[in-house]
Structures are given as structure tokens and as C-alpha cells.
Amino acid sequence: MAFSSYFCHSPLLALKINHFRNNGAAELELCNKLIVRSRVNLIRDWSFIRGSRLVLKQKVMRLTHKKATPIYASLLSGSQLASSAFTIGTTAVLPFYTLMVLAPNSELTKKSMQSNVPYAILGILYAFLLYLSWTPETVELIFASKYLLPELASIGKMFSNEMTLASAWIHLLVIDLFAARQVFQDGQENQIETRHSVSLCLFFCPIGIFSHIITKALTKTTKENKHDL
């Protein structure tokens, strides 16, 4: 009895019991808090009626961001493509104008002007840009009036697209270069000065053609006067 009484009233045992009670209560309280938090998070994530608006908002923002990124990338690549085509087309025609103006009588210039390769390459580039810029509204903008004729406002709206504008620029470059070649070859055939007319064809093609007509007429008159003398 004395032994059991001593064992029950032992200070060491009492200390262990108190320690177990305190720690056990703390651990139990911590477990209860974790369970409550888990239930709250589960309810906030999965409840259809009282679902968390914050979680839904974050999911919508993430989905919207994923959808917007490819669209932005495609617009950026389209703008870069139009700018690159504009630069490439402009740079490609400059050597031919340089040859016709600085060395009109050289064999390199004559052979270069007889080749159709530049027009084929620029034609392919133009067709590609035209394909990219074509939309269902293009035909409506071209034939906007009731008489199926173009209108200035509709054409201006159509050329507000950078891809369409780049294709139109390539279109002008091809026509200007072709006209300049015709002027150059006609000058070579009839021994007429064409450097000023070819230079005008680069940016002012109709004026360059008109300049060549005037130059040809004056040259012919001068030759006839000399022949009469």
C-alpha cells in the first residue's frame, strides 16, 4: 500500500501527467484548427453556392491571360512582317535605279534591266502580303458605292491596316520599276537621255513617264533640225 501510495503521489509521475495533459491539449487544439482550415478551404474551392469569389476571379484572370497572349503575339508578328516586307521591297529596287542612273551604258545595267527575276520575286511577295491582308470586308470596301465603284473613305479605311498598306507599297514599287525599265530601254534604243526621267520614276512614276515623253520629243526635234542644216 505504501508503495502504491508513493507511486500515485510521486512528483515525477505527476510532472509527466501534467506535461502530457498540457501537450496533448495543445496538439489536439492544433489538429482541430488544421481540420477547420482544411474544411474551409475545401468549401471555398468546391462550393457551388458559397464558393469563394477570390478563387474564381483568379481562375478567370489566368484563363484570360492565356487567351490574350497568342493574339498579342500574332498581331505583333503581323506588324513586324509588314514592316520587314516594306523595308525589303524598298531596298531591293534601289540597286536597279542606281545602275540606270550612274551607269546607263554598262553591260551589267543592260543585262539587269532585261531580267524578269526582280519582278517575279516582288510579285510573289506582293501576292503573299495580299493574301494575309485580305478579309471578308475587303470586297465591300473596294466596291462601297451603289455603282460598285471605290470611294475615298472606304479605301482609306482599308489602307489603315499595315499589312494592306505594305502590299500596296510593294505594288507601287513593281509598277514604278517596270515603268523605269521601259523608259530606260526606250532611251537606249533611240539614244535619248533617261537618267532624269528614271530618277523621277522612283517616287513620281507618272511624272517620270511624262518627263521621258517631253525629252523624247525635244530630242527628236533637235535631231531633225540638225539634219535639215
Decide if pLDDT at 193 tops 50: yes
Is residue 202 included in any domain, yes or no? yes
Q: Residue 214 pLDDT > 70, yes or no?
A: yes
Task: Answer yes or no: is pLDDT of 75 > 50.
Answer: no
- What is the structure's pLDDT at 191? 93
- 155 — pLDDT class (breaks 50, 70, 90): confident
Predicted pLDDT of residue 73: 39
94: pLDDT strictly greater than 50: yes
Please check whether residue 201 is in contact with residue 210, taking contact to mean a CB–CB distance below 8 angstroms.
no
Q: At residue 38, does pLDDT exceed 80? A: no
Other C-beta atoms closer than 10 Å to the C-beta of 77 total: 10
For residue 66, is it within any domain?
no
Are 199 and 211 within 8 A, CB to CB? no
Is 54 inside any structural domain?
Answer: no
Q: Which domain holds residue 197?
A: 75-228
Query: What pLDDT was estimated at residue 229?
Result: 66
64 falls within a domain = no
Is residue 146 situated within a structural domain?
yes
User: Is residue 56 over pLDDT 50?
Assistant: no
Joined together, the cell numbers standing for residue 106 give 554598262
Number of domains in the chain: 2
122 burial level (CB within 10 Å; 0-12, 13-18, 19+): buried
Whole-number percent of the chain with pLDDT over 90 = 48
pLDDT of residue 215: 97
Assigned domain for 85 exists? yes
